């Protein structure tokens, strides 16, 4: 095969562009089409044939699962590799995708290396990649191999767990540092972030499972933990705005317990 035809489906423009860029970088002779929902992707699939489909789960008009189910009813797409690229990693979602005929699953956030590995694995099985394409992909993976993801040993031990509640999103996070004035937390990079200066509520979880008094504050800064666009984690600094003596007393006890 001289030219790989790839279909990327994701309602987030940044993710679509990022995935398309990763594919073109690993496979320069590839042809990539990208759409923001399953319905538009389905129309394109009826007009042309693709060699692999990289699809998000939650999208407007037609979800990734619905597109997958439709794909498996089409003779021309019955065996075409379908890779679900999503933050939905819960067991029930994985099982639904497997039952519908998904070939593989890639959780967000992901690195270029992880995506290329999945593509090579999927296309290599059916002989859809030429030796030259496999060689280039292998070289790219070798180059990316030097950029290791942070490990548990290299990451500082968190001072607890928390939930960061913003106006329209809740983030599960690990506490990096904490005092009576502010908290630094780390969240997974899923390409959705707290807004700078946005009002937030921080719920700190005790080891016993009980929650510390909810603390009001605002976002002081949002920053990647690594100097790379696909940094797996993001640090969020929150300034507390509470003067409630009872809340401060609870917080002081918690800080003392984790020092």
pLDDT at 237 over 90: yes
The pLDDT value given to residue 70: 96
**What is the per-residue pLDDT across 4-49, written as a single tens digit (0 to 9) for each?**
899 999 988 878 888 999 899 888 888 999 999 999 999 999 999 9
**Domain 161-258 in the same topology as domain 5-144:** no
Query: In the chain, how many H helices and how many E strands?
Result: 7, 11
CA distances from 251 to 52, 122, 165 (A): 51, 50, 18
pLDDT at 227 over 90: no
46, 20 Cβ separation under 8 angstroms: no
Percent of the chain with pLDDT over 90: 32
The pLDDT value given to residue 205: 75
pLDDT at 50 over 80: yes
Cα separation, 71 vs 67, in Å, equals 6
For the segment 108-125, the average pLDDT, to the nearest whole number, is 82
Cα separation, 220 vs 184, in Å, equals 10
All structural domains of the chain with their residue ranges: 5-144, 161-258
CATH architecture of 5-144: 3-Layer(aba) Sandwich (3.40)
Which ranges of 126-237 does DSSP label H, i.e. alpha helix?
Answer: 131-144
**What is the per-residue pLDDT across 151-204, written as a single tens digit (0 to 9) for each?**
444 455 677 888 898 877 899 888 999 999 999 999 988 888 998 988 888 988
3-state secondary structure of 81: coil
Q: Which fold has domain 161-258?
A: Thrombin, subunit H (2.40.10)
Nearest C-alpha neighbor of 52 from the set 19, 97, 86: 19
Nearest C-alpha neighbor of 160 from the set 181, 182, 177: 177
């Amino acid at each position: 095969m001289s030219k790989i035809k790839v279909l990327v489906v994701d309602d987030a423009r940044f993710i679509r562009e990022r995935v398309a860029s990763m594919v073109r970088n690993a496979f320069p002779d590839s042809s990539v089409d990208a759409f923001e929902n399953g319905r538009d992707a389905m129309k394109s699939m009826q007009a042309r044939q693709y060699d692999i489909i990289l699809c998000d789960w939650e999208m407007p008009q037609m979800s990734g699962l619905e597109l997958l189910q439709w794909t498996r009813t089409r003779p021309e797409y019955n065996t075409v590799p379908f890779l679900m690229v999503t933050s939905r990693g819960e067991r029930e979602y994985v099982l639904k995708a497997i039952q519908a005929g998904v070939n593989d699953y890639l959780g967000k956030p992901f690195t270029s290396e992880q995506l290329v590995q999945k593509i090579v694995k999927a296309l290599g099985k059916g002989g859809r990649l030429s030796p030259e394409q496999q060689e280039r992909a292998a070289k790219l993976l070798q180059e990316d191999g030097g950029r290791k993801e942070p490990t548990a040993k290299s990451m500082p031990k968190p001072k607890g767990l928390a939930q960061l509640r913003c106006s329209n999103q809740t983030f599960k996070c690990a506490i990096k540092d904490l005092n009576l004035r502010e908290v630094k937390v780390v969240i997974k990079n899923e390409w959705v972030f707290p807004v700078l200066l946005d009002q937030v509520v921080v719920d700190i979880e005790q080891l016993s499972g009980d929650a510390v008094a909810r603390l009001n504050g605002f976002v002081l800064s949002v920053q990647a933990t690594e100097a790379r666009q696909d940094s797996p984690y993001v640090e969020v600094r929150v300034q507390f705005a509470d003067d409630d003596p009872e809340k401060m007393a609870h917080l002081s006890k918690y800080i003392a317990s984790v020092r």
